[in-house]
Structure 1
């Protein structure tokens, strides 16, 4: 569907030839301009917000979430500071190196997996469901016949046998 910014109002005036040329140029420019990229691929938002839905909130791990010293036993302050720096650096650079190695192949694998799932859903699952929906009235009438022939008389006779049973509760 085309957005409203690409629709151009064309006024037809036979009086001014110059205005028509300007309007035609404007129409041609608007048609051949490329649309802006989707927000997930634009450079300003993809760098700032990479998890807009908050899928990986549980992975926000800091040094204080993993290591902590009680008040009774403490190491030297410099050891604690350097340990924090080492932890953050190792976490950051390990993630960067692993993502540089694994991100593109795994994203391609995930894309293929989702494409396979979409293909299976479109070409296998939904046709089977539609066939079941089209055959369901026949199966329903067969099932109702079986219920009316075998199960309904059995349960009706059991209900008539049990209808004479009365249960009284008394407080004694």
Structure 2
């Protein structure tokens, strides 16, 4: 499968490409393994009316909208590559490709069934606790400190405006006259 190529379905012919009998008949070889692209699978998902109303429905189509896991876009050619000097048989290469893709997809699905729901509940619990702690404890304490030290902010702005700001403005004007010219010798 080529990256960035959009097609209706991806077919991998597991027959030997060197069989002259199949090509002479004019018949197409039998496809033993066929994978539907992810776009068609996503379009055919039947959801309940509760999910159609939900705010999470856009997540079905765009599961990594910020590209957090772009490093995991791995294909067979990214992992296994035979140089020109060493080659296995055509059938071995094709079957290896097919088994890699099928096992990668199905093992991922099985592991996510076993781990995704418990991890979602655990991470939801942790983020709920952290959010509650931040909303009801940290932020009110910070607001109390900011209200109590509002005069300090005003004093600090006055000190910066009287002593520090003029110094840096004059230093900027002094250094603004310098220019650098690069020339080849």
Under a length normalisation based on structure 2, what TM-score does the superposition of the two structures give? 0.50
- Point out the structure with max Rg over C-alpha: 1
Tell me, in whole angstroms, the C-alpha distance in 2 between the residues paired with 1:138 and 1:52: 44
Under a length normalisation based on structure 1, what TM-score does the superposition of the two structures give? 0.54
Verify: 1:38 aligned to 2:54, yes or no: yes
Q: Relative to structure 1, is the Cα distance of residues 139 and 115 closer, same or farther in structure 2, using a 3 angstrom cutoff?
A: same
Looking at both structures, which has the greater relative contact order when contacts are Cα pairs under 8 Å and sequence separation is at least 6? 2
CA deviation map 1:2-53 (0-9, x unaligned)? xxxxxxxxxxxxxxxxxxxxxxxxxxxxxxxx9x613423xxx554333333
Match of 1:100 among 101, 105, 113: 113
| 1:80 aligned residue | 93
| 2:135 aligned residue | 122
| 1:69 aligned residue | 82
Moved over 3 A (4+): 45-49, 137-143
Tell me, in whole angstroms, the C-alpha distance in 2 between the residues paired with 1:39 and 1:137: 40
Report the number of matched residues.
108
Q: Shift of the alpha carbon at 1:101?
A: 0.8
Unmatched 5+ residue regions in structure 1?
Answer: 1-33, 148-172
Q: Shift of the alpha carbon at 1:141?
A: 9.1
Q: What are the residue-to-residue correspondences of 1:1-172 with 2, within 5 Å?
A: 37-41=53-57, 45-137=58-150
| CA RMSD between the two structures | 2.7
Is the partner of 2:149 in helix, strand or coil? helix
